[in-house]
């Protein structure tokens, strides 16, 4: 794998006018005939050869305008096809035939088979595993696709666009033809064939066009697609209302498959989904699963405009479609559910996934300038930080100008492959605002650190706020410019009333947004009658680390009075965090752990505050994770001490709040039949949060066992099983529940993934042996990405004490697994390996073990580019 640089971008020498594909499907020998019409781009070298991309391909036929091409005129390797002496200006047709083996395709890129179904995954560079092609996102063309296959095994033949027709085709075969009129890049191509059940519905667009909606799932699972269908219709409506975007084909299809590297894929008119994000019913899906399905259905649907109608010029621009589309799906979920609770969940995720990436060896800008393997850039930085940057544009411009900016973007760039600069220009043109400094957010990696301190001058009735920003050094970026940081803020009086300054000097303040644009700024708020309590970075308006020493009393006041509920939650977390950090230090020294009463009181007050929605109260009760604590400690970390300290804090809160938690556990039932709506989910979340605390003070598993037996939905069942397995792993009750769960759901892969994941996350050194044992059981499937992520992924990403056990055996186990997975599925191997990205924050003995394990991978022969890229960067 060679390094690709943004600076090297140039358009293709040839323009692709049309694509006509014919597939004769066969499990091991699928014949692909690609008829491509090209002409030479004006102004390019008249002699230049046409060079097409390939990946593990063998050419079996090549025609130029229906005539065989002589051996002297072309050169074919597995990775490329070069054709010389092509017409200087006239269009020409190239007919390329390849034979591919879907059955042997374990990478799950290109055309492969899963559960008897043919399906494709082409983003980013999978299409070149199907045929030789200019496989880059700036080559857009309309596609016609003909599919020929055995009729009995493949009654269903699907591709992008609108259905043209089908017919019988010789002995036992049939064919279908599809035409997609919207020019698209190859990464959006899709083909699905096989025998599946379907759920059908229709949607009438704002302009009155009827669209057929179809979700294809395994036979018998149709009822489980009902929620996804509902989410799809809500998404289509929301995109019309909020962004003025209508759907543009006669049909929209979703196919759920069980072997899939990603969550889902937005192929034009034919989304392919990991079935984890389609299938749900109360018996198999948790509330979190329902929320994920809703968000991912929306995300892929929203790509129809942000990604498909307007796509990326090159893969460096990935955030153009991903950051914007994540922002859109976040807004959708916020509108469908509770906005503050959604925001809290987003920020939790951002801090626990993206912040460690941005603060470690894999840090890269939202818009990178080089890559060795593009698959490794489908990161939380591109996606989630990309979304945060889009959110900040909306914050800077306000809702109306932001809408005008997106309108302009859709209008100006429809049908094009564009860049981040094109995107930003639309907002500048719509608003008249200069976003030059702001756009550094796309180019400078690392999480900014903002330091704040305030002083009140009673005589002058003014409050002075000193702000400083610091950009950390990241790989390849040592010097950085100050950023434009939009900080939402408010000032409160001691009684919780909002204080509005008569004037502000030293910074621009628009509505509640304070603009920090210099390295250091002193802002004075005039006309403040009493000492104010500052609430800074409300709604997490900017993705920064904030250092602001505030008294416990002030934080408690924000936790109680802020009208921005996100800020209330943040204040509770900020109150708790020092306790968790100190607890980890104390546990390491063998000192008894204590916890500030101010924090416990504020937490319990929030927990029982009936004016707050249950989902919010549940979020307040969920303390920062062990990984979050490790990140905040910043180095020399001992996972066992962090775990012990956090458990001790949980126990102290549990003890102090016994009555509160008992009452919540008893009162937060959800009577009546199960409903996945946000309010019911919130009650379950709060009840299970209370239950987690109660199980801290329980010294017997009886309550958890009773809860397991009483559960009538997967949220409660898996919560009870988690408590039994994590808190009482060696008891007969835990063993019986695990066995019961296994036997009850053995036929249901998605639920068995939970069974594996819950066990992979059991704290403590013994879990490694458990995992090794689980790998020997018949239900363990090495070839299934969901299963590997559930067991190996959960262990490495979400079990600091088990994975990080002091003897290093967890790291050695991972190294072996990575090398093994890499043989089949490099993309999956590289993804799981990123779990090692924070190894330098470990205490020296563990860090040494981690380094040795990484070096074991690095030294192995035959590594994929995917794994090579990650291991080299992590070790650097």
Binding interface with ligand BAL (CB under 6 A): 123, 262, 264-266, 299-300, 303, 322
3-state DSSP of 617-633: HHHHHCCCCHHHHHHHH
Question: How big is the CA angle at 185 (ends 181 and 191), to the nearest 5 degrees?
Answer: 75
How far apart are CB 324 and Zn ion at their closest, in Å?
9
Q: What are phi and psi of 388, to 5 degrees?
A: -60, -35
262 contacts which partner out of ligand BAL, Zn ion, none, CB within 5 to 8 A by kind? ligand BAL
What would the 3-class secondary structure string for 268-302 be? CCEEEEEHHHCCCCCCCCCHHHHHHHHHHHHHHHH
Give CA 703 to chain center in angstroms. Answer: 35
Among residues 322 and 346, whose Cβ is nearest to ligand BAL?
A: 322
Shortest distance in whole angstroms from residue 95 CB to ligand BAL: 30
Contacts with Zn ion by CB under 5 A: the residue count is 2
Cα dihedral sign, 795-798-799-804: positive
Please state the closest distance from residue 84 (CB atom) to ligand BAL, in A.
35
Instruction: Kindly identify the residues of this chain, within the stretch 699-718, that bind Zn ion according to CB under 5 A.
Output: none
In the bound state with Zn ion, the residue whose beta carbon lies nearer, of 322 and 869, is 322
The bridge status of strand 449-457 relative to strand 545-548 is parallel
791: DSSP letter: I
- List the catalytic residue out of 294, 300, 373, 562: 300
- Is residue 870 within a helix (H) or strand (E), and if so which, with residue range? helix 865-875
Site for Zn ion in 712-751 (CB under 5 A): none
Does residue 572 contact residue 621 with C-beta atoms inside 8 Å? Answer: no
Stretch that binds Zn ion, among 212-220, 325-333, 593-601, 639-647 (CB under 5 A): 325-333
Q: Identify what 328 binds: Zn ion, ligand BAL, none; CB under 5 to 8 Å per kind.
A: none
CB of 321 to Zn ion, least distance (A): 6
Closest-CA residue to 369 (of 444, 472, 471): 444
Select 265 or 642, whichever has its Cβ closest to ligand BAL: 265
* Residue 626 contact among Zn ion, ligand BAL, none, beta carbon within 5 to 8 Å by kind: none
Q: C-beta of 535: minimal distance to ligand BAL in Å?
A: 34
Nearer residue to Zn ion within complex by CB, 301 or 693: 301
Q: What's the min distance (Å) between Cβ of 763 and ligand BAL?
A: 32
Beta carbon of residue 381, minimum distance to Zn ion (angstroms, whole number): 14
Q: Which range binds Zn ion by CB under 5 A, 98-106, 324-332, 393-401, 413-421?
A: 324-332
Instruction: Return the one option of Zn ion, ligand BAL, none that residue 128 interacts with (CB less than 5 to 8 A, by type).
Output: none
Give the phi and the psi of residue 216 in degrees, each rounded to 5: -100, 130
Contact segment (CB under 5 A) with Zn ion among 314-322, 510-518, 700-708, 849-857 equals 314-322
818 binds, among Zn ion, ligand BAL, none (CB under 5 to 8 A by kind): none
Q: From CA 468, how far away is CA 544, in angstroms rounded? A: 12
CA-closest candidate to residue 824, choices 112, 98, 28, 122: 112
Q: Looking at beta carbons only, is 243 or 839 nearer to ligand BAL?
A: 243
Helix or strand (DSSP H, E) at 23: strand 14-24
| Spatial distance between the Cα atoms of 368 and 174, rounded to a whole number of angstroms | 46
Regarding beta strands 417-418 and 311-312, do their DSSP bridges make them parallel or antiparallel, or are they unpaired? Answer: parallel
Nearer to ligand BAL, 271 or 838 (CB): 271
Output the smallest distance, CB 74 to ligand BAL, in A.
33
Distance from C-alpha of 51 to C-alpha of 98, rounded to nearest angstrom: 16
Look up residue 684 and give its DSSP letter.
H
Between CA 753 and CA 274 the distance in angstroms is: 13
**Nearer of residues 123 and 239 to ligand BAL, judged by Cβ:** 123
Reply yes or no on whether 300 is catalytic. yes
Whether the ω angle into residue 496 lies within 30 degrees of 0, i.e. cis, is: no
Q: How many CA atoms lie within 13 A of 312 on its CB side?
A: 26
Task: Show the beta-strand stretches assigned E in 517-569.
Answer: 520-526, 533-536, 545-548
Closer to ligand BAL at the Cβ: 238 or 745?
238
**How far is the C-alpha of 623 from the C-alpha of 625, rounded, in Å?**
6
Task: Pick what 868 binds: ligand BAL, Zn ion, none; C-beta below 5 to 8 Å, kind-dependent.
Answer: none
Beta strands in 397-529 (DSSP E): 417-418, 449-457, 462-470, 485-492, 498-499, 503-505, 508-510, 513-516, 520-526
Smallest distance, ligand BAL to C-beta of residue 170, A: 37
Partner in contact with 265, chosen from ligand BAL, Zn ion, none, beta carbon below 5 to 8 Å by kind:
ligand BAL
Closer of 135 and 266 to ligand BAL (Cβ): 266
Active site residues: 300
* Residues at the contact surface with Zn ion, assessed by CB under 5 A: 322, 325
């Amino acid at each position: 794998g060679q390094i690709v640089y943004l600076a090297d971008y140039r358009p293709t020498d040839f323009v692709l006018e049309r694509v006509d594909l014919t597939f004769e499907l066969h499990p091991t020998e699928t014949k692909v005939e690609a008829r491509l019409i090209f002409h030479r781009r004006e102004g390019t070298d008249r002699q230049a050869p046409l060079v097409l991309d390939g990946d593990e391909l063998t050419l079996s036929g090549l025609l130029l305008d229906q005539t065989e091409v002589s051996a002297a005129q072309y050169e074919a390797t597995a990775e490329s096809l070069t054709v010389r002496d092509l017409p200087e200006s006239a269009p020409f047709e190239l007919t390329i035939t390849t034979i591919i083996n879907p059955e042997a395709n374990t990478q799950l890129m290109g055309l492969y088979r899963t559960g008897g179904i043919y399906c494709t995954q082409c983003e980013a560079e999978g299409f070149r595993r199907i045929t030789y092609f200019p496989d880059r996102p700036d080559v857009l063309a309309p596609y016609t696709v003909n599919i020929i296959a055995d009729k009995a095994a493949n009654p269903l033949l699907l591709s992008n666009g609108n259905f043209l027709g089908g017919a019988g085709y010789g002995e036992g075969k049939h064919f279908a033809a599809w035409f997609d009129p919207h020019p698209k890049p190859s990464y959006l191509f899709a083909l699905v064939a096989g025998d599946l059940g379907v759920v059908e519905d229709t949607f009438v667009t704002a302009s009155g066009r009827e669209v057929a909606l179809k979700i294809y799932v395994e036979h018998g699972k149709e009822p489980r697609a009902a929620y996804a269908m509902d989410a799809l219709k809500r998404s289509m409506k929301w995109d019309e209302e909020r962004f003025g975007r209508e759907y543009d084909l006669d049909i929209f299809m979703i196919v759920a498959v069980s072997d899939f590297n990603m969550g889902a894929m937005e192929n034009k008119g034919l989304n392919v989904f990991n079935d984890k994000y389609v299938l749900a019913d109360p018996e198999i899906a948790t509330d979190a699963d329902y929320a994920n399905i809703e968000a991912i259905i929306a995300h892929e649907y929203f790509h129809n405009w942000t990604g498909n109608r307007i796509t990326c010029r090159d893969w460096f621009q990935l955030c153009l479609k991903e950051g914007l589309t994540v922002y859109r799906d976040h807004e959708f979920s916020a509108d469908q559910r509770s906005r503050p609770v959604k925001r809290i969940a987003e920020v939790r995720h951002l801090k626990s996934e993206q912040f460690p990436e941005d603060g470690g060896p894999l840090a890269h800008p939202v818009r990178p300038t080089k890559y060795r393997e593009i698959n490794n850039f489908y990161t939380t930085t591109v996606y989630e930080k990309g979304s945060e940057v889009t959110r900040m544009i909306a914050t800077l411009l306000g809702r109306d100008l932001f809408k005008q900016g997106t309108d302009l973007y859709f209008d100006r760039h429809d049908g094009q492959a564009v860049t981040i600069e094109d995107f930003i220009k639309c907002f500048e043109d719509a608003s008249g605002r200069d976003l030059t400094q702001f756009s550094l957010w796309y180019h400078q990696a690392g999480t900014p650190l903002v330091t704040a301190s305030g002083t009140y001058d009673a005589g002058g009735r003014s409050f002075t706020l000193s702000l400083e920003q610091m950009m950390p050094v990241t790989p390849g970026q040592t010097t950085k410019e100050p950023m434009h940081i939009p900080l939402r803020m408010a000032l409160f009086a001691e009684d919780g009333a909002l204080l509005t300054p008569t004037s502000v000097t030293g910074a621009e303040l628009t509505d509640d947004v304070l603009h920090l644009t210099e390295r250091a700024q002193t802002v004075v708020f005039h006309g403040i009658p009493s000492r104010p309590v500052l609430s800074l970075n409300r709604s997490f308006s900017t993705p920064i680390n904030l250092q602001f020493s505030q008294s416990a009393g002030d934080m408690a006041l924000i936790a109680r009075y802020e009208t921005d509920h996100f800020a209330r939650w943040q204040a509770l977390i900020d109150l708790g965090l020092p306790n968790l950090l100190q607890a980890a230090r104390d546990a390491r020294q063998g000192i008894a752990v204590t916890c500030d009463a101010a924090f416990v009181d504020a937490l319990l007050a929030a927990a029982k505050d009936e004016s707050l929605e249950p989902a919010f109260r549940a979020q307040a009760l969920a303390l920062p994770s062990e990984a979050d604590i490790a990140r905040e400690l910043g180095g020399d970390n001992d996972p066992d001490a962090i775990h012990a300290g956090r458990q001790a804090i949980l126990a102290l809160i549990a003890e102090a709040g016994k009555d509160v938690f008992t009452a919540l556990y008893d009162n937060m039932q959800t009577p009546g039949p199960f409903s996945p709506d946000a309010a019911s989910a919130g009650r379950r979340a709060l009840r299970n949060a209370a239950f987690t605390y109660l199980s801290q003070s329980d010294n017997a598993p009886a309550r958890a066992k009773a809860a397991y037996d009483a559960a009538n939905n997967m949220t409660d069942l898996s919560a009870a099983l988690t408590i039994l397995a994590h808190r009482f792993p060696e008891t007969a009750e835990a063993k019986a529940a695990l066995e019961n769960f296994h036997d009850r759901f053995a036929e249901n892969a998605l639920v068995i993934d939970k069974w594996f994941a819950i066990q992979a996350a059991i704290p403590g050194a013994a879990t490694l042996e458990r995992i090794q044992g689980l790998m020997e059981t018949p239900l363990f499937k090495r070839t299934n990405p969901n299963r590997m992520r559930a067991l190996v992924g959960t262990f490495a990403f979400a079990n600091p004490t088990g994975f990080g056990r002091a003897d290093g055996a967890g790291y050695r186990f991972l190294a072996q697994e990575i090398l093994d997975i890499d043989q089949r599925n490099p993309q999956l191997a590289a993804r799981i390996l990123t779990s090692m990205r924070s190894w330098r924050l470990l205490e020296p003995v563990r860090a040494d073990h981690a380094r040795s394990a990484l070096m074991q991978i690095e030294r192995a022969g035959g590594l994929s580019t995917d794994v090579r890229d990650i291991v080299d960067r992590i070790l650097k």
